[in-house]
Amino acid sequence: MASRSEAFHGVGSRSWIWRHEKREKISVRSLKLTRPNTLVHAVTERLRVAIVNAELKLGEALSEEKLAASFEVSRTPVREALSLLQLQGLIEIAPQRGSFVFRPTPDDIERLCDFRIAMELAAAPLCARRAHVSTAADLTLCLEKMEAAFAERDGLAYVTLDNDLHQVFFDHCGNKYFQDAYSLMSGRVAALRNNLSKNHPADQTLSLGEHRDIVHCFSERHMDRLGDILKVHIGRTRQNFLNALDCGAFDAPQS
């Protein structure tokens, strides 16, 4: 026959187990899977491409109703897509005014380029230590494609490959936090590049020379020299953006 103490502890243990199982069941029941909304994803991606490729001008007003009609969907997925793109910095939503493609201020451009310099100077050495051969191979491949686009005077292809070349450092750096941080601003940089190329062409001859130097220095492990070139290259890009902003190249069309 169990002692009083054993009986007490037995009942107490069973009571604790019952309460614990009850809490666990409640917790499990509250975890519901949400199926991916492929329609929202499709609208988001198409709008993102339109902004990045300069189909939509920086600062351009976006009507949910017109976008919904264009995509042949209801306004709900359009509204959700705009909210997602706001998180990526590609859309600005102003209460009582509506949604707009982002349009940077001079301070935005300064901070964005400062961020790029810091990120690329940190990511490139990680690539050199962890994945030098594959990084160098991908950089070289991007450069070859840039050379071809330059020879064919395909400005859009050139700036797209420009984006791809800088992305290589983050694809191979092996640090998810760097990759996530860069992805949050890479769309803005790409959109600025494409708007600049489309409306206020920069000197791509100089740009190509700098990219040749970037690839050469990384391939030869001249990391100090690579850092200097990246600072000059991104600094020149910063000035091109500021000049274009000042002369109205990024102005949205008047409705």
Least confident range from 33-47, 54-68, 129-143, 157-171: namely 33-47
Among candidate residues 218, 234, 192, 217, the one with its CA nearest the CA of residue 52: 192
Rounded distance between C-alpha atoms, residue 37 and residue 83, angstroms: 14
The pLDDT of residue 96 = 84
pTM (global) more than 0.85:
no
**pLDDT tens for each residue of 12-49:** 555 544 455 545 444 445 555 555 578 999 999 999 99
Edge-first strand listing for the sheet containing 98-101: 61-62, 98-101, 91-94
Burial of 151 (C-beta count, 10 Å sphere; 0-12/13-18/19+): exposed
The pLDDT of residue 61 = 95
